[in-house]
Amino acid sequence: MSNTAQGQILDFVRGRFPQAELDAAQDIFALGFVNSLFAMELVMFVEKTFGVTIPNDELRIDNFRTADSMAELVDRLARVAA
Amino acid sequence: MALIGVIGAGVMGVGVAQNLAQTGHDVVLVDKDEQILKEALETIARNARMSRLMGGPALDADEILSRITTSVGVGGAAEAEVVIENVTENWEVKRAVHEELDKVCGPDTVFVVNTSAIPITKMASITQRPDKVVGVHFMNPVPAKPACELIPGFHTSTETVERTRDLLKAMGKKAIDVKDACGFVSNRVLMLTVNEAAYLVHEGVATAESVDEVFRSCFGHPMGPLETADLIGVDTILYSVEVLYEHYADSKYRPCPLLKQMTDAGLHGRKSGRGFYTYN
């Protein structure tokens, strides 16, 4: 398991799609990996793991395209909360 | 706006209720269990929140929930113009629900049977209104899918079919006309494809990864058949293939032994953590 937010998110996505070779900059929406079930799991994973609540207006595809963009979102929300 | 009864608050019923409410319909969501109804409303609120992330419209969860009332027992659907029944895919369970609905609802109420397997003509035969019973095979997740199968039974009237088509259109769905035959189009083809893909792995012709890769890379499908099997549930796939086999008594539907063994071994796909692939 990785310790960085980006690494933890990437581990989670790789765990769900073990047959794919993914890196942190790859667009998982463009790869066709995200169905509604997985999107929900992803949001719940991010909220639970990092103790943040994602506001509705941040639930946009652009914030969830890559492990990098999700880590940025977590960072931004953590700063707002701090 | 006419009231629509949605019977059964499982995965499909919840999706149908949300889809109706977000397209401006008043809905009464019916189940036999108060707790299931409570959880259903929570799920709808959560799904509404997720809509934009799935490329759907921005939805106001409060507005959607304001259009949905709930009721324990089918009595709540007495005033509905149309009821959409989504209970478990089991003949005895569906039969009991339709018998009750037939007593409770007015004579003009249309009964929509949401099913991927149960013959519509058989379902209609236990009601006193076979001309007003029609099948719709919704796909999961309902609000996100642009089309569904529309299946008239033997006695279904043209008026019932067109009323249902109009309702589906108002829900944002294209209705694809299919005749009443076990498995309709979707499951006849999909289940055979998954079954044959399982045979390829069983016989050692290709790995699950290679089978899926052919479908993704060569055919441009977003998912291969064995990833799809893991998503649906390997046990559900086996059950569906067995239903086709029994119904048609045709050996082309014989279930792959690997599907049976995986089902017995608890390798049911994503929901059990392991199927054709392993999930964390």
What pLDDT is attached to residue B279? 85
What are the residues whose beta carbons fall under 8 Å from the beta carbon of B187, sequence distance 6 or more?
Answer: B116, B117, B240, B244
Evaluate if pTM is beyond 0.90. Answer: no
We report the CATH number of the domain holding residue A31 as: 1.10.1200.10
Say if the Cβ atoms of B141 and A36 lie within 8 Å: yes
Alpha-carbon distance A1 to A18, whole Å? Answer: 15
Inside any domain, residue B280:
no
Residue positions of B annotated with a catalytic role: 116, 137, 149, 187
Alpha-carbon distance B223 to B239, whole Å? Answer: 21
Say if the Cβ atoms of A61 and B141 lie within 8 Å: no
We report the CATH number of the domain holding residue B217 as: 1.10.1040.10
Say if the Cβ atoms of B50 and A56 lie within 8 Å: no
Q: What is the ipTM of this complex?
A: 0.73
- B19 and B47 in contact (C-beta within 8 Å)? no
Task: Tell which of B177, B210, B235 closes a domain.
Answer: B177
Inside any domain, residue B143:
yes
Q: Which two three-digit tokens encode residue B223?
A: 């998912």
- A42 and A34 in contact (C-beta within 8 Å)? yes
The 10s digit of each residue's pLDDT in B196-232 is 999 999 999 999 999 999 999 999 998 999 999 998 8
Shared domain check, B143 and B69: yes
- B81 and B4 in contact (C-beta within 8 Å)? yes
Evaluate if residue A33 carries a pLDDT over 80: no
Domain boundaries, position A27 = 5-81
Alpha-carbon distance A17 to B280, whole Å? Answer: 9
Mind telling me how many Å the CA of A32 is from chain B's nearest CA? 6
Nearest CA in chain B to A61: B53
* Separation of first and last alpha carbons in chain B: 46
Shared domain check, B197 and B79: no
We report the CATH number of the domain holding residue B157 as: 3.40.50.720
Task: Tell which of B129, B144, B177 closes a domain.
Answer: B177
Contacts 24+ apart (CB under 8 A), B161-166: B161/B134, B163/B82, B163/B110, B164/B82, B164/B110, B164/B112, B164/B134, B164/B136
The C-alpha angle B198, B201, B204, rounded to 5 degrees, equals: 150
Q: Which two three-digit tokens encode residue B149?
A: 């199968």
Mind telling me how many Å the CA of B200 is from chain A's nearest CA? 18
Task: Say how many C-beta atoms besides its own lie within 10 A of residue B200's C-beta.
Answer: 19
Task: Tell which of B177, B211, B237 closes a domain.
Answer: B177
Evaluate if residue B280 carries a pLDDT over 80: no
Inside any domain, residue B276:
no
pLDDT category at A32 given cuts 50, 70, 90 is confident
Alpha-carbon distance B63 to B75, whole Å? Answer: 25
Give me the mean pLDDT over the B103-108 stretch.
97
Q: Count of domains in chain A?
A: 1
Say if the Cβ atoms of B279 and A43 lie within 8 Å: no
Q: Is B62 exposed, middle or buried (0-12, 13-18, 19+ CB in 10 A)?
A: exposed
Domain boundaries, position B247 = 187-271
What pLDDT is attached to residue B270? 86
What pLDDT is attached to residue B172? 97
Helices B234-248 & B186-202 angle (0-180, nearest 10): 110
Sole residue written with tokens 């692939």: B277
Of A16, A19, A39, the CB nearest to B50: A39
Chain A residues with beta carbon closer than 8 angstroms to that of B141: 35-37
Binding-site positions of B for NAD(+) read: 8-13, 31, 89, 94, 116, 140, 271
CA torsion B230-B150-B30-B3 (nearest 10°) is 140
Mean of all residue pLDDT scores within chain B:
94
pLDDT category at A1 given cuts 50, 70, 90 is low
Q: Count of domains in chain B?
A: 2
CA torsion B178-B181-B184-B189 (nearest 10°) is -130
Evaluate if residue A81 carries a pLDDT over 80: no
Shared domain check, B138 and B205: no
